[in-house]
Amino acid sequence: MEKRVAIVGAGISGLLACKYVLQIGFNPIVFEADDGIGGVWRHTIETTKLQNPKETFQFSDFPWDSSLKEDCPSSQQLLDYLNSYAQHFSIIPNIRFNSKVIDIDYVGGSNEEMKSWELWSGNSSPFGSKGTWHITVEDTKKLSTEVYKAEFVILCIGKYSGFPNIPEFPPGKGSEVFTGKVMHSMDYSALDNEVAAELIRNKRVAVVGSEKSALDIATECANANGVTHPCTIIQRTAHWILQDFNIGGINLGLLYLNRFAELLVHKPGESFLLSLVATLLSPLRWGISKYVETYLKLKFPLKKYGLVPNHSFLQDISSCQTAVLPEFFFEKVKEGSILIKKSQSFSFCKQGLIVNEEPKPLETDLVIFATGYKGDQKLRSIFKSSIFQNYINGSGDSTVPLYRQIIHPQIPQLAIIGYAESLSNIFCNEMRCQWLAHLLDGNIELPSIKEMEKDTKIWEDNIKQNARNLRSCIVTCGIWYNDQLCKDMKCNPRRKKGPFAELFEPYGPTDYQGLVPNGLFGNNA
């Protein structure tokens, strides 16, 4: 049978998936709704920069240009980097721009037949004997639709776009009673820089949220309006914030991103011995978290402005909820161009917002919700089949069950890249794409559906144990995770030179370079 591969999305994950699928000899087609590559990085506010040092946020075989001196590049510099990567590996010819995927539908085996399968796709192969994906694509310029067929689909649609998470309000207390403008950070970020600047100029802006987008937007508003029209951040939950990855002279990677650090935490499917070690070393785990918290409380006026979180730093980093501060953030707070209000409740009124039921409203011209996205709902909505939609569990008490954070045990001939998070998503998603290339080329044999479901449950339980929420975050056991992928690919998981380096050096993108040889085993003809 044919082995056509379709990729949805040309953000970082889509570029990686295309690169590695090309590398093993396939000719994939990439559908991208926008007119260029980059995904969410095409729609960021002007001042947004990488939170990571560039050495931790790069492709394994395509380093940043040596002429780039900034440690944390801007969004435009990142876009330039992505375009250079796509040109270097000849990815662009495989992308169909202005092609929005409306839905995908699996046509072939009946629902009853698929439910009876013991192996994924019925035969544990990425290319089943019957099924074909029908992909409905809209040309966003001509407004016409066409159905494409593929034997395998890779979803690289991301979690942070398309489906904004906006709080709901009782009747009479929502935005309908407000005379000003209300929008989500997604819509603000999508504006042209000049249009965005004009929108906030001389406006009283309130930003609802406590993570990176909220801090960035508030700083941009403060830069535009100063103390004349201060920007107010309304936040329910404070999170630990960093200036950079240097914690009192110690690189954060030495504390959390090496094998020794992973000995301190419980890992999915660990042996009794490793579990015992993690338990015995729990005082050290607690001590490291307290060291970071103490340093941050000394470094920043968190207590003064009510920004000391009620949870540990370990919980935040295990949930992928730490944020790097924009430049001069606390200087803006000190001068009064950024105001911070802790709020357990708020509602709209004609003049603005009622915060914590205070008698005097917060007079506002513009309210921007930086309240995140409904990633599960976005993923669910792309499937035409209600059965497949139900497999993408968005109940709030579990994560989307993905084997190796890539394969849904019940959805055949399909992979999802980019759902699980880490501190460097370019890094972890490249590992997944290398694993997927081995799978597509027949070098990985999947276990039974029952075994895959058992494994996903183990990972989900681990996330519940370590994190504050159910975001699928693998920061504190990322090396453990990559070890599993390496073993599946029949590659040596020990990537360092010498036992000391193996134990204490942080792992990064270049450690996993070359896990997919050109052509691999040539089973894709």
Cα separation, 447 vs 409, in Å, equals 10
CA nearest to 475, candidates 493, 463, 492, 460: 463
pLDDT at 376: 86
CA nearest to 315, candidates 475, 478, 506, 165: 475
Burial of 143: CB neighbours in 10 Å, binned 0-12, 13-18, 19+:
exposed
Q: Is pLDDT above 90 for 520?
A: no
Cβ-contact 59, 509 below 8 angstroms: yes
Angle at 238 between CA 232 and CA 242, to 5 degrees: 95
pLDDT at 422: 84
C-alpha pair distances (Å), 123 with each of 6, 204, 435: 21, 60, 19
pTM of the model: 0.94
Cα separation, 452 vs 73, in Å, equals 39
pLDDT at 519: 62
- Specify the DSSP class assigned to residue 336: T
> Over pLDDT 70: what percentage of the chain?
97
Report the pLDDT averaged over residues 3-7.
96
Cα separation, 513 vs 72, in Å, equals 22
Q: Is pLDDT above 70 for 396?
A: no
Q: Is pLDDT above 50 for 278?
A: yes
Each residue of 127-163: pLDDT tens digit? Answer: 977 789 999 999 999 999 999 999 999 999 988 888 8
CA nearest to 311, candidates 399, 208, 217, 236: 236
Cα separation, 404 vs 432, in Å, equals 8
Least confident of 42-51, 199-208, 406-415, 445-454: 42-51
Cα separation, 85 vs 83, in Å, equals 5
Q: By three-state DSSP, how is residue 203 classified?
A: coil
Half-sphere exposure of 366 (CA within 13 A, CB side): 23
pLDDT band at 525; cut points 50, 70, 90:
very low
Each residue of 198-253: pLDDT tens digit? Answer: 999 999 999 999 888 999 999 999 999 999 999 999 999 999 999 888 999 999 99
